[in-house]
Each structure stands twice: as C-alpha cells, then as structure tokens.
C-alpha cells in the first residue's frame, strides 16, 4: 500500500526552498497584535538525503492543547531523531493566538472547523488556507496531535478515517494503546486532507492545559514507529517495545443521570466489566450517593476529570 517510488524533492514553503540533505527553520508571518507585535508560526523542515515519504507532524491546532506542543518539542530537542531518508515537516504550534490566551479557539473561531480556509476570510480561516496551500501540498501523510478538551482526559489513542485504508495501516504501525476509526467532521483538517487523498492520523492523549507524561511517551514512541517503518531514522534509535494496541469497534459516552460532585474509582485506560462501579456522583451535602456503572465489558478510553457534574454531562468514554 506504500510501495510508491518516492523521489528526492525540494520542499518549498512561503518562497523558502529546502533541498535534500538540508534542514531549515522557516517562520511564517501570520498577523500582528493590536500593539504591532508580529506573530509568526515556526515550521521546521528536515529533508533527508535519500528519497522517502514527506510526513507532517503538527501540534497546537487547538491553542489550549499544550500536551501536543510539548510532545513535539521533546522530539525536536532530541538530536537522535535525525532524518536520513524522506522529509519531516514539523509545526509545533499552529494556533499561536489560542495558546497565548489559554483558549481552544483563535479569535473566537475553531481553526479545526475552518478548512480548507479562505485567503480573505477570518484569521482562523486564513490560517487554515495557508496551512493547506503552503504545507499540506508537500506531504504524503501526517500526524495531528491533540488532547481531550473541557477537563476530559483521553487515554493515548489513534483515530483514523474508516474509508482510508492507508490511514488504517499507518494507525497499526503507530501502535497506540487504543485505535479506532472516527467519522470525518465537516470543515476539519482531517476532512480537508482526505479530500486531497492525504491520510491524517489524529493522536489524542491527555487533556487541555495539562501535561501528561504517559501520553507524551506514547505519542513519541508511536511517531518513531512510523519513522522506523519507512527507514527515515537511524537504526540505533531505541524505541521501547509496546504491546499490540487494541482496536476499538464500538464506543459510547456514559452520561451523568444526576448532578453533583463526581468521583472516579477506576484508572483511565483500564479494562472494565459489565455492571462494574466506575465512580460516584454525590450531592454537596452528603445525603445521597449514586453509583456510575458500565453498561458492557470494555475499556475506558477517556474520563471527565471535572468534579462538578450536571445531569447529562459525559463522564466516561467506554470502548469495546
């Protein structure tokens, strides 16, 4: 499925050319703050000497998902990950404005609902437009790093497009603890790339505005698995052995039947049995306590860490 003949090619971004065997940091100007301060997006390009695929590694599409930014940062500072074959384009932080404001959005708009974007649209739409035009046109496939939002902590997992066989194969190579197909969301980055026949994996791990060691570790190891598969990095780079990931075929959020204070008693990522108590919802005065039970055997792939729960809030994501 990946037997195509890759060719050494020069990568061009915003008029800057990066030839085979060259690495370069390109700063793309996006906008200015009201104070006049220029805002730029750093793009690292590592173009190996030998022919191979061009891969995009992207973090911070949502500004508050700092775990994705830290994951890529750690890969950048580790010089063992030198690219010898193919090319890796790295965008550690796309949504600079959201990052500065501890916000998922960019000026009130979700960049991941603005693709393919517009050259004359909102800032979020223009960001999406230039990402597609300047960077995505160069790549063969990519990994988009994310976290859970709204105090929801995702156990390390890979999501791929069901209709894309290459994406499924890449997900298997990545080998996250859990992997599953997820529907394409209109105007999302993954949807826009799918229309251009570019497979995109979405790695989810941790929660917004928090760093999660396990998710960072699993995200780095999975990325290295893909780079090793295509012989892009040195064989001397040590990749810890991981158990084969579990394929999830059915998943459902358990929602709170009552409002109150929420307390979990199981670990995120663990296997659970039908009828098992996962946590409790208690009133603030200590008069009532309701058990939260799982409806079937499965695995916990996400947990709501916020202790104050309203009726109908999603609290456990269970996969089978």
CATH number at residue 271: 2.40.50.100
Token look-up 């609902």 returns: 113
Same domain, 202 and 263: no
Contact 143, 190 (CB under 8 A): no
Same domain, 139 and 92: yes
Same domain, 211 and 292: no
Same domain, 190 and 308: no
- pTM (2 decimals)? 0.95
Same domain, 205 and 128: yes
Q: Is 236 domain-assigned?
A: no
Q: How far apart are CA 267 and CA 302, in angstroms?
A: 10
Q: What total number of domains does the chain contain?
A: 2
Same domain, 84 and 198: yes
Q: How many CB atoms lie within 10 A of CB 209?
A: 16
Q: Is 3 domain-assigned?
A: no
Q: Minimal CA–CA distance to 310: which of 261, 263, 254?
A: 261
Q: Is 120 domain-assigned?
A: yes
Same domain, 206 and 273: no
Q: Is 105 domain-assigned?
A: yes
Same domain, 272 and 314: yes
Q: Which domain holds residue 210?
A: 11-229
Same domain, 162 and 307: no
Q: What is the pLDDT along the chain (320 residues), one digit of tens a residue?
A: 676 778 778 999 988 999 999 999 999 888 888 888 888 889 999 999 999 999 999 999 999 999 999 999 999 988 767 999 999 999 999 999 999 899 999 988 999 999 999 988 898 999 999 899 989 999 999 999 999 988 899 999 999 999 999 999 999 999 999 999 999 999 999 999 999 999 999 999 999 999 999 999 999 999 999 999 999 999 889 899 889 999 999 999 999 999 999 999 999 999 999 999 999 999 988 888 999 999 999 999 999 999 999 999 999 999 99
Q: Is 238 domain-assigned?
A: no
Q: Please name every residue paired with 158 in a beta bridge, in sequence order, or none if there are none.
A: 179, 203
Same domain, 175 and 315: no
Q: Is 255 domain-assigned?
A: yes
Same domain, 90 and 186: yes
Task: Provide the CATH number for the domain around residue 24.
Answer: 3.40.630.10
């Amino acid at each position: 499925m990946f037997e195509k003949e890759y060719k050494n090619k020069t990568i061009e971004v915003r008029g800057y050319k990066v030839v085979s065997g060259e690495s370069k940091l390109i700063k793309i100007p996006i906008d200015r703050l009201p104070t006049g301060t220029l805002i730029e997006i750093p793009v690292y390009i590592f173009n190996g000497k030998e022919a191979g695929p061009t891969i995009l590694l992207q973090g911070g599409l949502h500004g508050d998902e700092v775990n994705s930014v830290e994951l890529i940062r750690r890969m950048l500072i580790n010089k063992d990950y030198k690219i010898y074959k193919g090319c890796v384009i790295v965008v550690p932080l796309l949504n600079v404005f959201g990052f500065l404001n501890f916000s998922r959005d960019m000026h009130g708009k979700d960049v991941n609902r603005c693709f393919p974007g517009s050259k004359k649209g909102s800032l979020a739409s223009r960001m999406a437009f230039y990402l597609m035009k300047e960077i995505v046109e160069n790549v063969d496939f990519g990994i988009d790093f994310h976290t859970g939002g709204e105090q929801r902590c995702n156990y390390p997992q890979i999501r791929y497009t069901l209709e894309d066989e290459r994406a499924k194969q890449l997900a298997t190579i990545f080998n996250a603890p859990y992997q599953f197909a997820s529907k394409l969301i209109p105007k999302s980055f993954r949807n826009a790339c799918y229309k251009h026949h570019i497979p995109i994996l979405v790695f989810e791990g941790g929660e917004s505005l928090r760093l999660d060691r396990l998710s960072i570790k699993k995200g780095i190891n999975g990325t290295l698995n893909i780079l090793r598969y295509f012989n892009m990095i040195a064989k001397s780079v040590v990749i810890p052995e991981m158990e084969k990931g579990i394929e999830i075929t059915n998943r459902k959020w358990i929602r709170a039947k009552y409002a109150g204070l929420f307390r979990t008693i199981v670990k995120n990522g663990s296997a659970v049995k039908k009828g098992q108590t996962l946590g409790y919802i208690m009133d603030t005065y200590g008069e009532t306590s309701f058990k939260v039970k799982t409806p079937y055997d499965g695995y916990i792939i996400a947990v709501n860490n916020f202790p104050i729960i309203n009726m109908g809030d999603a609290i456990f994501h269970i996969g089978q």
